[in-house]
Amino acid sequence: MKLLISRLSIAVAGLASVLMFTWPLFITSKIASEAALAQAVFIVLMPLVLILVLVEFSSGDIGAKQLALLGVLIALNAVIRMLGAGTAGIETAFFLVILGAFVFGSGFGFILGASSIFVSALLTGGIGPWLPFQMMGVGLVGLGAGLIPKFTRSWQQKTSLVVYAVISSFVYGSLMTMWNWPFLAGTGTQLSYVAGDPIISNLTRFFQYELITGGFFWDFGRALTTSVLILLTSQSLLATLNRAASKAGVRRG
């Protein structure tokens, strides 16, 4: 029963995060202001992270030892992110979230991703209306990484991690653009969001917007950086994290 509640809480957090990004595809009237939307999302979704921690803790998926390790990884990833923070497409925060979630599971990965971005923002002063979206976006990266199958051969694991890194980098970039696309593209152009239009029509305009503005090129930089870091560090980091997981009694889920 506890395991079912844990899985349900992860699913709800993931679904809520996806919906907060893709709202332009479902809203039929204009939103009053970007700031008001972001503030409302922040107020509603921030408790999800705390609730998820409590549910994972109470279900046994994250115990005291795991929680301490989670805190260390959050602090470490927050510092690592300062080396890139998305500048020119360079992103140093994804690889540790992906590797951590791969070893410890989706709930752990969601919390690691969202919390490390929050701590990083506190350290760098990068707090703004974009922050809750960054937190939930990287949380989703961690959630998905926890679902990657564990292959027996090292090269298979490394390949699956790199493939996921590429896909998640482009998905993250697209989601981060989509939530404020209606405001950035303006109105009355061929690339503008049209409230109430069919989803396919808006997705087509969004894809064109991403191509013209260079969003996909930026995402390519993120995918390349994350993939290279995984290739360079996965062997040693996975061994270290697996030993830590074994000592902490973590069951992957």
Per-residue pLDDT of the chain (253 residues; tens, 9 = 90+): 656 666 777 777 777 778 778 877 776 655 545 545 555 665 566 666 667 666 665 665 666 777 788 889 999 999 888 876 556 567 888 999 999 999 988 888 988 998 999 999 888 877 887 888 888 899 999 999 999 998 878 889 999 999 999 999 999 999 989 888 888 888 778 888 887 788 899 899 999 999 888 888 889 989 999 999 999 999 999 999 988 877 766 555 4
- Identity of the residue numbered 93: A
Residue bearing tokens 């993939």: 227
Give all domains of the chain, ordered by start, each with its CATH number: 47-248 (1.10.1760)
Question: Which candidate, 162, 51, 177, places its Cα nearest to that of 114?
Answer: 51
**102 touches 146 (CB < 8 A):** yes
**248 touches 101 (CB < 8 A):** no
Give the contacts of 68 (CB within 8 A, at least 6 positions apart): none
